[in-house]
Amino acid sequence: MGDSIPTPKDLLTGETGDDDVSNTDPIPAVEESAPVDDTPEASVGSLEADNASLRVELARMKLADRYGKDIADLIEGDTPEALEADAQRMASIRARFEPLIGTGGLDPTPTRKGFDAVGVLRSMGR
């Protein structure tokens, strides 16, 4: 009868029909947990660890706003400063591979910052 499936009632009463009687207790034993350290120093240490993890999570959220979620998902670091440095590094890598926007027409060079197209047209005289 060891091949039969025990019913819930059998499990509660401990009668599983198995020949193995090594565990006759219907309720499994609860494992002893490690003793809890309730000292103030332990509480402060726990709060500091929680605070550090929250600071890192907040920094990651701010970096997602600044650099984009794609970079924020990839950055690594244990401190806000390390996350910022990694995000800047990844943003510089991404910038190298973004397509450059040309000025149009026959000039395919990228637009320069501070380029005044109207000023150039006026200087050409019409």
pLDDT tens digits, 53-66: 999 999 999 999 99
| Residue 46 maps to a domain | yes
Q: Ramachandran region of residue 105, left (φ > 0), alpha (ψ -120 to 50) or beta?
A: left
| Residue 18 maps to a domain | no
Range of the domain at 59: 41-98
pLDDT band for position 30 (50/70/90)?
A: low
Total number of domains in the chain: 1
| Residue 75 maps to a domain | yes
| Residue 7 maps to a domain | no
| Residue 59 maps to a domain | yes
User: Encoding tokens for residue 88?
Assistant: 């800047």
| Residue 11 maps to a domain | no
Tens digit of pLDDT for each residue in 100-122? 555 555 555 665 566 677 777 78
| Residue 55 maps to a domain | yes
pLDDT at 26: 63
In one-letter notation, the amino acid at residue 45 is G
Residue range 79-87: average pLDDT?
A: 92
CA distance 121 to 126: 8
| Residue 66 maps to a domain | yes
